[in-house]
Each structure stands twice: as structure tokens, then as C-alpha cells.
């Protein structure tokens, strides 16, 4: 595999995870379960189950109970977008009790015939305003910029020094703090509202935990080179799960 294809796979992985996080509203979703080659499927704790509490994620439930996210999703038949709900009962093993009836019931109706859609207008350079101000997450030289449609350039890279402060670009709540995505090192994701979130990768040290509220300008990490060739911060802004150019929202320098 070439370096380029590897980076593309990593960026696509982050795109999927961010979209799933954003889709969950009062709960949180996780990466697409995927069986590891050559690894036997786990049976977990047969008959055991857990009730989802508000603010919990599939990732935190799996970690607390010592099971893999992929296995708990498989045992409960979770389908895209892998949403879980407060009050929902999840099986912690093969054959465990799960309460799918607690999830909201959706009624599906057949779509009415529609006239052919008009040719859509060209997409604007930026989506609607976020309604709040953004701050630069770190000081340093701009190494790489966003390129629309390029899965390896979905954000910007800011070069700096080891241990340099990385701060929240806007008020929000931390929905991910970990190193579970290969190629991004120590990664933090902050949800600002139902449409907007930001991601901060390659940190040396993470200073915030999942579920923690942060303010714009508050330090959340120390800059590093985990998953990168040099000390730098990889920063992304996402609107409804899709990457946008951070330079359109950050203050002009």
C-alpha cells in the first residue's frame, strides 16, 4: 500500500467516525463494526445486559464492560448510523437480553411521486454561518491547507513545538478523547452544537475527558507528533459531519 492510499484510508475513517458522532444527538455513535481478519468472534457474557444512560456512548459502555465495540454492536444488531438511546437495553454477550423496544418507533411511509428535480444550484463556498466565533486552536506555521474533495486534505496542519498549547476553537463538549484511530495519534473531538464539531489530532498529551465541557481558548492538549512526522496539530471543522475549510471560519491572520 502506498503512503497516499494509507493516508486516504485514515481520513475516511475519521470522516465516518465524525459523521456518526454528530448523528446521535442525546446519545453517541461509534465506528462501523468490522471483523478483524483472523480474529475469532467473541461471545462475551452470555445473558448479561446493560441499560444505556443519558450521555453514554457505545465506546464508553464497551470499554467499561471489557468488550470490543465491534462485538457489542454485532450482538445487538446495530445498523448504520449505529445510534443508541437512553433507556435502551444492550446485550453484553451472544444471546444476551436486549431491549430494542425501548428505542423510538419510526413510521415509514412510501414517498409520493415527485416531478423531476431541477438542476441544483452550485454549492456555495461555505455552509451557513455557525452562529458563533471561532478561535485558532494553536499558534504556528500553516503547513497544509484544506482541499475540497481530497480525502487526505480535510483540514489544516499547524506546525509548532512539542508541548505547545492546543486550545478549543469554540465552546462545546468533548465527545471523543483517545487514540483509537490509526494515523491521528492522540485525538480530541469537540461537539459545539447539533451541526458543528471540530477535531484536534497528533497531540502529545490530552488534557480533557469525554463528556467534559470546554470554553473557547481553553487548553485541551499539548502539541506533539503522535501519528505524524513532526510536531504539528491537525485541525478540522465539520458541518453536519462533512469537512469544511477551517480558514473560512478562523480569524484572518
Residues in the chain: 253
- Residue 146 makes CB contacts below 8 A (sequence gap 6+) with 153, 154, 155, 156, 243, 244, 245, 246, 247
Q: Of all residues in the chain, what percent carry a pLDDT higher than 90?
A: 42
CATH number at residue 24: 3.10.350.10
Q: What is the pLDDT of residue 77?
A: 82
Question: Are 160 and 213 part of one and the same domain?
Answer: yes
186 forms beta bridges with 203
How many domains is the chain built from? 2
> Does residue 105 lie within any of the structural domains?
no
pLDDT digits (tens, 9 = 90+) for 66-118: 888 788 888 888 765 556 777 788 888 876 665 543 444 444 455 555 555 54
User: Is 253 contained in some domain?
Assistant: no
Average pLDDT, the chain: 78
234 vs 189: CA distance, rounded Å: 12
Q: Which domain holds residue 83?
A: 3-33+43-100
Distances (CA, A) of 134 to 169, 201, 243, 248, 249: 5, 18, 15, 10, 6
Same domain membership, residue 215 and residue 151 = yes
- Angstrom distance (rounded) from CA 152 to CA 149: 9
CATH of the domain at 227: 2.70.70.10
Report yes or no on 133 lying in a domain. no
Structural domain contains residue 107: no
Q: What is the pTM of this model?
A: 0.57
pLDDT at 241: 87
SS3 160: coil
* Same structural domain, 81 and 146: no
Q: CB of 88 within 8 A of CB of 102? A: yes
Amino acid at each position: 500500500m502506498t503512503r497516499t492510499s494509507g493516508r486516504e484510508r485514515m481520513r475516511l475513517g475519521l470522516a465516518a467516525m465524525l459523521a456518526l458522532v454528530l448523528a446521535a444527538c442525546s446519545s453517541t455513535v461509534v465506528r462501523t463494526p468490522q471483523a478483524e481478519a483472523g480474529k475469532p468472534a467473541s461471545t462475551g457474557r452470555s445473558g448479561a445486559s446493560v441499560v444505556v444512560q443519558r450521555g453514554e456512548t457505545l465506546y464508553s459502555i464497551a470499554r467499561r464492560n471489557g468488550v470490543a465495540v465491534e462485538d457489542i454492536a454485532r450482538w445487538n444488531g446495530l445498523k448504520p448510523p449505529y445510534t443508541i438511546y437512553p433507556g435502551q437495553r444492550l446485550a453484553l454477550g451472544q444471546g444476551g437480553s436486549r431491549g430494542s423496544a425501548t428505542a423510538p418507533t419510526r413510521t415509514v411511509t412510501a414517498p409520493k411521486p415527485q416531478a423531476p428535480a431541477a438542476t441544483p444550484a452550485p454549492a456555495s463556498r461555505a455552509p451557513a454561518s455557525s452562529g458563533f466565533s471561532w478561535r485558532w486552536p494553536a499558534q504556528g506555521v500553516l503547513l497544509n491547507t484544506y482541499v475540497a474533495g481530497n480525502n487526505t486534505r480535510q483540514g489544516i496542519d499547524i506546525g509548532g513545538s512539542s508541548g505547545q498549547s492546543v486550545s478549543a476553537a469554540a465552546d462545546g463538549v468533548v465527545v471523543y478523547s483517545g487514540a483509537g484511530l490509526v494515523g491521528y495519534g492522540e485525538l480530541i473531538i469537540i461537539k459545539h452544537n447539533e451541526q458543528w464539531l471540530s477535531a484536534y489530532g497528533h497531540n502529545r498529551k490530552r488534557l480533557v475527558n469525554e463528556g467534559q465541557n470546554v470554553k473557547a481558548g481553553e487548553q485541551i492538549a499539548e502539541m506533539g507528533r503522535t501519528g505524524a512526522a513532526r510536531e504539528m496539530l491537525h485541525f478540522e471543522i465539520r458541518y453536519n459531519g462533512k469537512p469544511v475549510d477551517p480558514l473560512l471560519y478562523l480569524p484572518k491572520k
